[in-house]
């Protein structure tokens, strides 16, 4: 738990409502349910028409209230698909009062839109990524102007079950967060695909190439998590002068190679994120 989280945990325990318990919502709920008090919660309600087994089990043991009648809550966490937000607004309003902190993990839905739709000025907009479903994600968040240090600490604590939490950031940075960490797992999966395909071209059978490529990326990621060295330093440790890795990196790091491609990819994702936000605002 971070210092900010510890401070928040020592404050008044709150009633939180989780709207949506899909993969990401369930991952957060599992973290909170393990110790509601440490999560700063006195009570947790979950609204989900098709809850998974873990949510049903928590409801059966009275750790949570599943699909209760709506009442104004201290915190409302929106873990619904962004395209369904507009249709759900009238239902969501029943949970939200003027002092409710609304924490959204809906991609592309701006703070201004949430404030305008639900009426609370206290809004946190977060962008998790898919590894958050197993507690190994990276999440950035931004806050509305009405939020202060308490809201920042509560938001960080609520997001901690997903993994690394970065924030509060400026909302103008959220498209970059989406492009780097939100979309980033797809880039890594593509690298595995490409590496395996290159292995097949070099003479390996498909099963062996896939296994080697997959575990190489998994192992490299584990090294990044285990050691404090910068990625560039770890890369140098693998690279012997004049060796096979140096030959490969000479191609990957040449002009127009991987660094430039990744930069262009992130720029394209940032641009598309801004476009999607404008399209959503006009919807």
pLDDT of residue 282: 66
pLDDT of residue 91: 93
Share of the chain above pLDDT 70, in %: 95
Asked whether residue 188 carries a pLDDT value surpassing 50, the answer given is yes
* CB neighbour list of residue 86: distance below 8 Å, 6 or more residues apart: 117, 283
Q: Which residue has the higher pLDDT, 54 or 153?
A: 153
Cα separation, 48 vs 64, whole angstroms? 12
Q: Which of 195, 194, 192, 128 is nearest to 161 (CA)?
A: 128
Quickly state the pLDDT bin for 163 (edges 50, 70, 90).
very high
Tell me how many domains the chain contains.
Answer: 2
Question: What value, to the nearest 5°, has the Cα angle with vertex 45 and ends 42 and 49?
Answer: 170
Read off the tokens for 42.
């006195």
Q: Give the residue-averaged pLDDT of 86-110.
A: 94
Q: Give the residue-averaged pLDDT of 140-144.
A: 98
Asked whether residue 271 carries a pLDDT value surpassing 80, the answer given is yes
| Statement to judge: residues 18 and 149 lie in one domain | yes
Q: For tokens 């939100």, what's the residue?
A: 182
Q: Is 147 helix (H, G, I), strand (E, B) or coil?
A: coil
Here the CATH number for the domain that contains residue 203 is 1.10.3730.10
Q: Average pLDDT, whole number, for the chain?
A: 93
Q: Which of 113, 129, 101 is nearest to 276 (CA)?
A: 113
pLDDT of residue 218: 97
The parent domain of residue 223 ranges over: 184-273
| Statement to judge: residues 78 and 128 lie in one domain | yes
How many other CB atoms are there within 10 angstroms of residue 275's CB atom?
12
Please report whether residue 179 resides in a domain: no
| Statement to judge: residues 122 and 246 lie in one domain | no
Give alpha helix (H) positions in the chain: 3-9, 23-33, 53-60, 85-92, 111-118, 149-159, 174-177, 184-201, 206-226, 231-238, 244-252, 258-282
* φ, ψ dihedrals at 220, nearest 5°: -65, -40
Per residue in 237-262, pLDDT (tens digit) is 999 999 999 999 999 999 999 999 99
| Statement to judge: residues 188 and 266 lie in one domain | yes
pLDDT of residue 9: 43
| Statement to judge: residues 117 and 188 lie in one domain | no
Per residue in 102-122, pLDDT (tens digit) is 999 998 899 999 999 999 999
Q: Is 5 helix (H, G, I), strand (E, B) or coil?
A: helix
Per residue in 65-82, pLDDT (tens digit) is 999 999 999 999 999 999
Q: Give the residue-averaged pLDDT of 197-215.
A: 98
| Statement to judge: residues 119 and 255 lie in one domain | no
Per residue in 213-238, pLDDT (tens digit) is 999 999 999 999 999 999 999 999 99
| Statement to judge: residues 136 and 214 lie in one domain | no
Read off the tokens for 41.
């919660």
Domain boundary among 138, 171, 204: 171
Domain boundary among 114, 148, 171: 171
pLDDT of residue 283: 59
Q: Which of 61, 37, 66 is nearest to 49 (CA)?
A: 66
Here the CATH number for the domain that contains residue 17 is 3.40.50.720
Cα separation, 28 vs 81, whole angstroms? 16
* CB neighbour list of residue 52: distance below 8 Å, 6 or more residues apart: 21, 26
| Statement to judge: residues 109 and 49 lie in one domain | yes
Query: For strand 137-143 and strand 123-127, is the pairing parallel, antiparallel, or unpaired?
Result: antiparallel
């Amino acid at each position: 738990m971070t210092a900010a989280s510890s401070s928040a945990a020592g404050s008044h325990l709150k009633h939180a409502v989780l709207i949506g318990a899909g993969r990401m919502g369930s991952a957060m709920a599992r973290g909170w349910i393990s110790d509601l008090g440490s999560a700063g919660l006195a009570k947790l309600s979950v609204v989900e028409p098709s809850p998974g087994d873990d949510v049903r089990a928590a409801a059966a043991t009275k750790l949570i209230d599943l699909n209760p009648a709506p009442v104004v809550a201290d915190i409302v966490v929106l873990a619904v698909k962004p395209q369904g937000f507009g249709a759900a607004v009238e239902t969501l309003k029943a949970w939200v009062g003027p002092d409710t902190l609304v924490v959204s993990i809906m991609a592309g839905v701006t703070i201004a839109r949430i404030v305008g739709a639900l009426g609370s000025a206290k809004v946190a907009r977060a962008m998790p990524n898919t590894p958050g479903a197993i507690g190994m994600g990276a999440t950035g968040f931004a806050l509305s102007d009405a939020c202060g240090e308490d809201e920042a600490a509560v938001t960080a604590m609520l997001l901690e079950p997903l993994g690394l939490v970065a924030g509060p950031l400026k909302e103008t940075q959220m498209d970059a967060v989406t492009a780097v960490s939100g979309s980033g797992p797809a880039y890594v999966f593509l690298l595995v695909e490409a590496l395996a395909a290159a292995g097949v071209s070099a003479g390996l059978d498909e099963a062996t190439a896939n296994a080697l490529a997959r575990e190489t990326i998994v192992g490299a990621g584990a090294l990044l998590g285990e050691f404090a060295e910068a990625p560039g330093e770890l890369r140098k440790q693998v690279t012997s002068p004049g060796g096979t890795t140096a030959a490969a990196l000479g191609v990957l790091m040449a002009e127009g190679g991987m660094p430039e491609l990744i930069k262009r990819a992130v720029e394209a994702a940032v641009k598309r994120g801004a476009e999607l936000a404008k399209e959503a605002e006009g919807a």
